[in-house]
């Protein structure tokens, strides 16, 4: 439960990273389908409350474009219906953060542009279902957009509400049509919702005290450190 509080606070400050940490922790305790559903429901609470708290900062045109791309990707995922193993999930989580180091002049993605918002929805949704979290990939579309830090965190939170709904629905659908058993421990999960909301509130307080330059600098180094840890875990699982 302490991990839920910490990761919700982390996401409340940076708009990501917390989801990656929580996903990795859940994989240590649960099979992949259950970890995906538990993660999606807990992060739905955290992102949903954050989007509501910062609702006046949410950019609706970006959300609309993202939703169009996400729904298109969902149609493809329902056709493929592949469940990744834990080592592959850790590998995807470990590689994603290095996208933040791509040269800005080589990759000009901007979520404020309709086509880029749709591309963001499609790619982020695919990664979300495959790896459980997609913060660094999502950040590629927001880090170079003309938005302030509150608009970035608020709009990203709104897009991730949809991403978590899709992820939970996808794995519950697979569990319904197979023996995967994606349903988590509901009493444990229910106790995590309150901590998710508390962490979101604490993260909002910290975000208000952070400058935009510090926000960008800490985001990049934080997710890189998380990525290195997950790559090491992936290599350990593949080797074992």
What are the extents of the domains in the chain?
2-239
Neighbours of 122 (CB within 10 A): 18
- Taking every pair of Cα atoms in the chain, the longest distance, rounded to a whole number of angstroms, is 49
pLDDT, tens digit, 9 for 90 and up, residues 34-70: 888 888 888 887 788 878 888 899 999 999 999 999 9
pLDDT for 93: 83
Give the closest residue to 56 by CA, choosing from 154, 203, 160, 149. Answer: 154
pLDDT for 192: 56
Q: Give the CA distances from residue 225 to residues 63, 91, 94, 228, in Å, rounded to whole numbers and listed in that order.
A: 29, 14, 9, 5
pLDDT for 155: 92
Higher pLDDT, 128 or 115: 115
Count the alpha carbons within 13 Å of 217 in the hemisphere toward its beta carbon: 5
Note the pTM of the prediction, 2 decimals: 0.76
Percentage of the residues of the chain whose pLDDT score is greater than 70: 72
């Amino acid at each position: 439960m302490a991990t839920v509080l910490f990761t919700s606070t982390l996401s409340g400050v940076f708009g990501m990273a917390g989801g990656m940490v929580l996903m990795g922790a859940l994989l240590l305790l649960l099979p992949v389908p259950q970890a995906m559903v538990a993660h999606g429901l807990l992060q739905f609470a955290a992102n949903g409350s954050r989007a509501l708290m910062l609702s006046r900062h949410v950019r609706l045109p970006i959300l609309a474009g993202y939703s169009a791309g996400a729904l298109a990707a969902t149609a493809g995922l329902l056709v493929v219906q592949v469940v990744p193993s834990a080592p592959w999930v850790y590998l995807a989580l470990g590689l994603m953060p290095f996208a933040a180091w791509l040269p800005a002049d080589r990759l000009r993605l901007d979520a404020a542009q309709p086509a880029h918002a749709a591309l963001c929805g499609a790619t982020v949704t695919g990664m979300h279902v495959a790896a459980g979290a997609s913060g660094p990939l999502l950040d590629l579309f927001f880090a170079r957009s003309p938005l302030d830090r509150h608009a970035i965190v608020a709009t990203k939170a709104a897009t991730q509400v949809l991403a978590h709904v899709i992820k939970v629905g996808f794995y519950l659908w697979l569990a319904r049509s197979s023996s995967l058993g994606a349903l988590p421990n509901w009493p444990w999960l229910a106790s995590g919702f309150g901590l998710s909301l508390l962490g979101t509130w604490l993260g909002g307080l910290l975000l208000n005290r952070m400058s935009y330059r510090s926000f960008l600098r800490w985001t990049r180094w934080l997710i890189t450190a998380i990525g290195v840890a997950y790559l090491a875990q992936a290599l350990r699982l593949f080797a074992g």
